[in-house]
Amino acid sequence: MIHYQRYTTALGEVDIAAGEDGIVALQFHNKARPLCLAADWQPGATALTDRAAQQLREYLAAKRQDFHLPLAPRGTAFQRRVWEALLAIPYGETRSYTQQAQHLGQPRAIRAVARANGANPVAVVIPCHRVIGADGSLTGYAGGLPLKAHLLTLEGARFVAPLP
């Protein structure tokens, strides 16, 4: 059984879902891209969703750099490998999609890495926002580029800001 709850943060509402094995999803509430609910998902907070929301609030207040949460995102074996590699990017640092593909030992899989990165169901905790273009520019982010820029700025990461 997966339980999900909406929480308020400094950057708006987030939907957090957790099962017995860990956090399944954490995404900023977006009417255009709602939380995908499966048949085994039930509304309601749990101790784990509450803990994830608290750690996210601490991160957004610059009081936390690392999350200490069990994670259980659902995806293909390749997606899970990509998401695991994202966890290795330190706070305040960025990597390009090319570097991530090389890190995975699949240097030609840049587009596949980008797609898996974009399918990350556990935003911020699995730091897909730390992956940027090879030229330092911001690339797509499910929460939008302004949110990605905000998260990277919060962490003190270097990137090329988009033109207004």
Q: Which residues are catalytic?
A: 128
Other C-beta atoms closer than 10 Å to the C-beta of 134 total 12
Interatomic CA distance for residues 164 and 162, integer angstroms: 6
Strand, coil or helix: what is 14? strand
Among the listed residues 147, 161, 141, the one whose alpha carbon sits nearest the alpha carbon of residue 9: 147
Interatomic CA distance for residues 30 and 15, integer angstroms: 9
Sign of the four-CA dihedral 41, 61, 66, 30: positive
Phi and psi dihedrals of 148, rounded to 5? -60, -45
The residues near 68 (Cβ < 8 Å, ≥ 6 apart) are 55
